[in-house]
Structure 1
């Protein structure tokens, strides 16, 4: 049986917290920030927590590297 490999794209985009939740960076933060209000940019600074079925899939794809 072959080993399960870590999904490298997910490894770059998600982190697993100490309690086992999947954390992600907010979207719309890469470029074109001059057109966004300070309020919007301030709220986008915070990272989000993935929940539901998506979180389960992310954690499963990152399992070998944990």
Structure 2
């Protein structure tokens, strides 16, 4: 049986923490910041943990 390939699009966007959680960057945090409010920019900065509902499918795509 062939090996399962990692989904490269997912691998570029999601990473695994030391405890096994999946984290991703928030959306709307790349450019055009002059049109966004300060509170919105603070809210989308940093990383977010994937919900348990999405984690199962993402782990399958990552080959975990």
Runs ≥4 residues deviating over 6 A:
none
Number of residue-to-residue matches in the alignment: 64
**Quick one: distance in 2 between partners of 1:51 and 1:43?**
17
Normalised TM-score (structure 2): 0.88
Normalised TM-score (structure 1): 0.85
Matches within 5 A, 1:1-66: 1-63=1-63
Q: Which runs of 5+ in 2 are unaligned?
A: none
Q: Which runs of 5+ in 1 are unaligned?
A: none
**Quick one: distance in 2 between partners of 1:18 and 1:62?**
15
Q: Report the RMSD for the aligned CA atoms in angstroms.
A: 1.3
